[in-house]
Structure 1
């Protein structure tokens, strides 16, 4: 997978202001407002910035946290995890491995009945669903 590297100006032209704020400035969309929070459609969730496959609908689950939740990425190299010490907390940030865009955070050990006990809490605005035909 080839890395996607663009200048801030190039990202600003490609992305909407909200997409830029979340994907490139590590923002967060308000809870329960994203288009994929309650989506049940089958398909592949790709990075809205570069199109890389990130998650599949088969790993999406109801966490009732306000953002789409997945229990694992679609591949071992789909995302990168980075320690995030912002806002007085220690969390694990999830970024697209291909373009380094901010997607959300991953939380572990919360007791969800999933195979991994992980919750990839991802901003809808960071994703684009390619529905199965």
Structure 2
């Protein structure tokens, strides 16, 4: 580079064009992530988080907790000190809510269950039983 004004102007124009192209590409990528569905959005968001979630180090009575266990104990002590205990003796009666409506007998046929299982998305997360929809 010669240091001439013409070279500087060329550099600035190229730099500005590059920044604009990068912003456009980033925007297109993020729009594609959004169109891919919530699972892709949450994955993208988790990757953008700089700090991972952890238990904060708590200070109690001018003493800092040495580890997460001590932090948890400080919090437990604090919440235990601000909540009142239940009164001794019998608690007042709580009347049962009125239930006038009832559900009729519901029958699930094999065909209905199979149809609903076929409609589950293949890429969904497993349920509490650990079985994925694809199985």
How high is the TM-score relative to the length of structure 2?
Answer: 0.16
* Richer in strand (by share): 1
* Richer in helix (by share): 2
Larger radius of gyration: 2
How high is the TM-score relative to the length of structure 1?
Answer: 0.16
